[in-house]
Amino acid sequence: MATAKVKASKKSIISLPNQHLRQRSKKVGLISDEIIQIVDDMQVATIDWEKSRQHEVGVALAAIQIDKPLRIVIVRNNPDNKDDPSFTTFINPEITKYEGKKIKDFEGCLSVPNVYGKIPRYSKVRVKALSPSGKPFRTTAEGFLARVFQHEIDHTKGTVFIDHIKDKPEAFYKLTETGELEKLDYDKDIKDNDVLWAY
């Protein structure tokens, strides 16, 4: 007897200290119906997560964040508009060139609850990937979108954004109930935090 498929939701998103987030994802070979379903589940989970957050937007997600170790990334088409839940899918995404200067700015992650960080990223990147139909395509991203790609493609390599600032006490923040970012106490909240640094 076939079992009914469990519908994706915010509960599908794994978070630290889950060890899978530190593992490299595999390249997608055949873009099968299963791959398309994973993409759909990623989108549903991201939007469901967003509905539960007053001050945050679900901008992007990597497949490993719903515990699928495959090199798939989705990026919101219009992150400034919560009424637009559409995404672009990048299968086997690669950054082919880093350009511009490294700029520090704030990042959060659906898989790292209650922690933000000020992360240095290149201001411009060139990306190549496959579409869900298997067609190769390229894009150039600048500013915030360049940061998003670097963050998500890091996920496919088993890197979480906090890894870039592990030894930077001044770089850790939390989001307050009013939507403001305030510094965390590194020694108390971060340094020996078994949730964040379980390898």
Report which DSSP code applies to 165: G
- Is the distance from CB of 118 to CB of 175 less than 8 angstroms? no
> Mapped to the 3 state alphabet, what secondary structure does 35-46 carry?
HHHHHHHHHHHH
- Is the distance from CB of 20 to CB of 12 less than 8 angstroms? no
**CATH of region 11-190:** 3.90.45.10
pLDDT at 139 over 80: yes
| Whether residue 180 lies in the annotated active site | no
- pLDDT for position 198: 82
pLDDT in tens, 42-94: 999 999 999 988 888 999 999 999 999 999 999 999 988 888 999 999 999 99
pLDDT in tens, 162-194: 999 999 999 999 999 888 999 999 999 999 999
β pairing state of 136-142 and 60-62: unpaired
Q: Tell me which of 107, 152, 170, 177 is the catalytic residue.
A: 152
CA 103 centroid distance within chain: 19
pLDDT at 131 over 70: yes
Phi, psi (5° rounding) for residue 138? Answer: -130, 155
Q: Tokens representing 82?
A: 């919560």
Contact residues for 190 (Cβ-Cβ < 8 A; gap 6+): 115, 169, 172, 184, 196
Say if pTM beats, i.e. exceeds, 0.85: yes
Domain ranges in the chain are 11-190
- pLDDT for position 81: 87
- pLDDT for position 55: 85
pLDDT in tens, 96-112: 999 999 999 999 999 99
- pLDDT for position 6: 67
What value does the mean pLDDT of the chain take?
A: 94
Quote the Cα angle for 166-168-174, to 5°: 85
pLDDT at 127 over 80: yes
